[in-house]
C-alpha cells in the first residue's frame, strides 16, 4: 500500500476510546520491580535466551476502519449503489450532510435498514464510493489509492458533501499538475466548481502549452479551453506566433484522429502528410470543407497579421492549404498600407496605446536562456524597418532592448527615422520541475521613443535566479486602427 495522508473530516466521529492500547486487548500490568543481586546478573550472563519481539499494536483508528467499515460488524444500515453493497453505520454516515439530512429529516429512507442510492454522476465509480465511505471511518487516506482514483473520489466527495475529503482532493490536484493531467483536472475543476484548481491549471497551460507539446496534452485540450488560452493576456509564446499555428495543426489532426497515440515526432509527420493529401484532393482550403468548418473558429483566434510577416511562414501556410485565401488577402493589403505609412514617415509608431488594444494586436514571441551566458538575438519576420535586438549580459544579469540602426549589420531595409515609438512588454520567469512559476519579473507595458542605436535596460535578474530563464515578449512596432487591422 502507499503512504497514508491524514486529514480531518468535518464532524468526524471520535474514536470509541482515548486509550493508546489496542482495541483488541489491553496488555497486563507489569509486576513491581525488585532490586537485582549478583546471582541474578550472573544468571543473565549464562543464559542466552533472545528477547521476545514486541507485537506492534494497531491504532484505534485502524481497528475501527477494519472492524466496522471493512468487516461491517454491527452494521445498522446497508447502502446499495452501482450494484454494490456497503454495510455501514448511521452514526458514522451522519458526518456527511447528505446522509445526516436523510436520517434526521423526513426523507423516505429515514429508518430504513437497506437504502438504494442512484448515482447520477458518470465519473463516480465503485472504488470512489469505497474510498469516500471509508473516509468516514478513518483519519487517513492511502495517497497512492487516492491518486489512482482522484477525479472519481472528487466527484463522490462533492455528491456526499464530504468537505474534508474534497479539500484533500483539491490539494492533491494542485500539487500534481502536469502535461498528462492538466486538461482533465481543468475539466473536473470546471464541473465541480474548484476555483483554485481551475486557475492553477489555466495558468500552467498559459506558460507550458507550447513548451510541453505531448500527444496527450494536445489531444485533451478542448476547443473552448484552447480558445481561452490563445486570447489570454498572459499566454506565453516561446518562439514566434507561427508556433501557435503549428500547434493548432497537431491539435486539429488529433481531433479528427482520436485513436492516434503517436509520439510527437511521428505525429508531426502524420499531420503534415494528412493535410498535404487533403489539399491535393480539394480545390478549396481545409477550413472551408465540410469537416474543416467545424474547427474554423479556433483558427480565427490566430493573429495571422503577425504570421505573414515572414516569407517562409507564408509559403508554409499556402502549402498546407488550411487557411482560406479570403482570410489572408485583406491582411496582405493592410500590411502593405502599414509598411508604406512607416517608410513614408507618416507613421511614427504607436502612441497612447490602450492596454486591451496592445494585448490584442501586439506580436508575441519568446526565448529560453538555457544557462547564465551572454545572449544576443532578434526575432524573425518583417518589423517595418525597426531592427529590435535583445541582449542578456550575464555579468550584470540585465536584459536590454536596442533599436539597431547603424551599429550592427542587418539583411533588410532599416528605418532611418531619428526617433521611433515602440510599445512593448517583457516578462522573465523560471519554472519548477512541475511547470509551476517559481520566480518572475515583468516590465508592464512600456512606450519608448527610441533614438537611432539607442539601448535601454528592461529588467535585471536577482542573484538567486537559476537557469533556464524564460523570456516572454509582446511588441507593437507600428500604429494601428481597428478598421485597418481587423478582418
Q: Which residues have a Cβ under 8 Å from the Cβ of 402 and sit 6 or more positions away?
A: 388, 389, 390, 391, 453, 454, 455, 456
* Domain coordinates in residue numbering, the chain: 61-176, 236-346, 355-476
Q: Give all strands of the β-sheet with 398-404 in edge-to-edge order.
A: 375-377, 387-393, 398-404, 455-460
Q: Where are the beta strands (DSSP E) in 131-242?
A: 140-142
**Residue partners of 485: CB distance under 8 A and separation at least 6:** 305, 334, 361
Q: Do residues 410 and 387 touch, judged by C-beta distance below 8 A?
A: yes
- Angle, helices 126-134 vs 150-159, to 10°: value is 60
H or E stretch at 473: strand 469-476
SS3 422: strand
Fold designation for 355-476: 2.60.210
Q: How would residue 481 be classed by pLDDT, with cut points 50, 70 and 90?
A: low
Residues 6+ apart with CB under 8 A from 424: 362, 401, 443, 445, 446, 448, 473, 474, 475, 476
Handedness of CA 440, 403, 394, 458 (dihedral sign): negative
DSSP element (H, E) containing 116: strand 114-116
- Give me the mean pLDDT over the 75-95 stretch: 94
Give the β-pairing of 114-116 and 77-81. parallel
Please check the confidence at residue 346 and state whether its pLDDT lies above 60: yes
- Is there a common fold for 61-176 and 355-476? no
What is the structure's pLDDT at 252? 97
What's the pLDDT score for residue 4?
Answer: 53
Q: Average the pLDDT over each of 5-9, 182-186, 245-249 and give the range with the smallest value.
A: 5-9
Kindly state the average pLDDT of the residues 20-46. Answer: 41
Residues 189-210: what's their mean pLDDT? 97
Q: Please give the pLDDT value at position 133.
A: 96
Length of the chain: 487
* Residues 243, 246: Cα–Cα separation, whole Å: 5
Given a cut of 50, is residue 15 above it in pLDDT? no
The pLDDT value recorded for residue 104 is 84
Highest averaged pLDDT of the listed ranges 53-62, 69-78, 124-133, 327-336: 124-133
Per-residue confidence (pLDDT) for residue 63, from 0 to 100: 87
Dihedral sign for Cα atoms in the order 284, 289, 293, 298: negative
Q: Are 366 and 473 in contact (CB under 8 A)?
A: yes
> Quick check: helix, strand or coil at residue 403?
strand
Residues 6+ apart with CB under 8 A from 367: 238, 239, 375, 377, 390, 470, 471, 473
Cβ–Cβ < 8 Å for 146, 84? no
Q: Is the pLDDT of residue 56 over 90?
A: no
- What are the pLDDT digits (tens) for 460-471? 999 999 999 999
Q: What is the pLDDT of residues 402-451, one digit of tens each?
A: 998 888 877 777 777 778 889 999 999 999 999 999 999 999 999 898 89
Residue 463 CB burial class (10 angstroms; 0-12, 13-18, ≥19): exposed
Q: Which triple of cell numbers denotes residue 312?
A: 517562409
Model pLDDT for residues 389-406, shown as the tens digit of each residue: 999 999 999 999 999 888
Spatial CB neighbours of 333, under 8 Å, sequence gap ≥ 6: none
pLDDT above 50: residue 185: yes
Percentage of the chain exceeding pLDDT 90 = 63
The CB-based long-range contact list for 180-189 (8 Å cut-off, 24+ gap) reads 180/214, 180/216, 180/217, 182/217, 182/220, 183/217, 183/220, 183/221, 183/222, 183/225, 184/151, 184/220, 185/151, 186/225, 187/222, 188/123, 188/151, 188/154, 188/155
pLDDT, the chain, mean: 86
The H or E element that residue 182 is part of is: helix 182-191
| Separation CA 329–CA 334 (nearest Å) | 9
Mark residue 453 as left, alpha or beta (left: phi above 0; alpha: psi -120 to 50; beta: remaining).
left
Q: What is the CATH number of domain 61-176?
A: 3.30.710.10
pLDDT at 339: 85
pLDDT at 18 over 60: no
Amino acid at each position: 500500500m502507499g503512504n497514508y495522508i491524514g486529514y480531518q473530516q468535518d464532524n468526524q466521529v471520535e474514536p470509541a476510546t482515548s486509550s493508546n492500547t489496542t482495541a483488541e486487548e489491553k496488555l497486563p500490568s507489569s509486576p513491581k520491580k525488585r532490586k537485582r543481586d549478583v546471582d541474578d546478573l550472573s544468571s543473565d550472563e549464562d543464559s542466552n535466551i533472545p528477547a521476545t519481539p514486541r507485537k506492534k499494536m494497531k491504532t484505534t483508528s485502524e481497528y475501527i476502519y477494519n472492524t466496522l467499515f471493512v468487516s461491517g460488524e454491527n452494521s445498522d444500515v446497508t447502502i446499495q449503489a452501482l450494484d454494490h453493497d456497503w454495510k455501514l453505520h448511521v452514526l458514522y454516515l451522519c458526518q456527511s450532510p447528505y446522509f445526516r439530512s436523510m436520517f434526521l429529516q423526513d426523507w423516505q429512507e429515514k429508518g430504513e435498514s437497506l437504502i438504494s442510492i442512484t448515482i447520477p454522476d458518470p465519473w463516480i465509480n465503485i472504488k470512489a464510493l469505497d474510498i469516500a465511505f471509508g473516509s468516514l471511518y478513518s483519519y487517513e487516506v492511502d495517497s497512492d489509492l487516492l491518486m489512482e482514483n482522484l477525479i472519481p473520489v472528487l466527484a463522490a466527495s462533492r455528491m456526499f458533501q464530504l468537505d474534508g475529503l474534497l479539500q484533500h482532493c483539491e490539494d492533491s490536484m494542485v500539487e500534481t499538475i502536469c502535461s498528462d493531467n492538466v486538461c482533465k483536472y481543468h475539466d473536473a475543476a470546471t464541473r465541480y466548481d474548484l476555483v483554485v484548481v481551475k486557475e492553477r491549471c489555466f495558468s500552467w497551460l498559459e506558460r507550458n502549452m507550447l513548451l510541453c507539446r505531448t500527444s496527450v496534452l494536445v489531444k485533451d485540450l478542448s476547443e473552448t479551453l484552447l480558445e481561452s488560452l490563445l486570447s489570454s493576456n498572459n499566454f506565453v509564446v516561446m518562439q514566434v506566433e507561427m508556433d501557435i499555428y503549428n500547434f493548432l495543426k497537431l491539435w486539429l489532426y488529433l481531433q479528427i484522429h482520436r485513436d492516434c497515440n503517436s509520439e510527437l515526432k511521428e505525429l508531426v509527420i502524420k499531420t503534415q502528410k494528412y493535410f498535404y493529401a487533403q489539399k491535393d484532393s480539394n480545390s478549396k482550403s481545409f477550413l472551408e470543407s465540410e469537416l474543416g468548418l467545424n474547427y474554423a473558429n479556433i483558427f480565427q483566434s490566430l493573429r495571422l497579421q503577425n504570421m505573414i510577416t515572414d516569407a517562409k511562414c507564408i509559403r508554409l501556410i499556402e502549402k498546407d492549404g488550411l487557411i482560406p485565401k479570403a482570410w489572408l488577402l485583406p491582411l496582405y493589403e493592410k500590411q502593405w498600407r502599414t509598411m508604406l505609412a512607416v517608410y513614408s514617415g507618416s507613421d511614427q509608431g504607436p502612441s497612447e496605446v490602450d492596454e486591451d488594444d496592445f494585448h490584442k494586436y501586439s506580436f508575441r514571441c519568446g526565448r529560453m536562456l538555457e544557462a547564465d551566458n551572454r545572449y544576443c538575438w532578434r526575432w524573425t519576420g518583417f518589423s517595418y524597418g525597426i531592427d529590435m535586438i535583445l541582449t542578456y549580459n550575464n555579468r550584470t544579469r540585465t536584459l536590454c532592448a536596442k533599436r539597431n540602426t547603424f551599429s550592427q549589420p542587418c539583411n533588410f531595409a532599416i528605418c532611418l527615422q531619428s526617433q521611433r515609438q515602440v510599445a512593448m512588454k517583457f516578462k522573465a520567469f523560471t519554472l519548477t520541475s512541475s511547470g509551476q512559476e517559481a520566480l518572475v519579473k515583468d516590465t508592464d507595458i512600456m512606450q519608448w521613443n527610441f533614438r537611432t542605436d539607442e539601448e535601454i535596460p528592461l529588467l535585471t535578474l536577482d542573484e538567486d535566479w537559476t537557469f533556464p530563464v524564460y523570456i516572454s515578449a509582446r511588441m507593437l512596432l507600428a500604429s494601428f486602427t481597428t478598421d485597418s487591422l481587423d478582418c
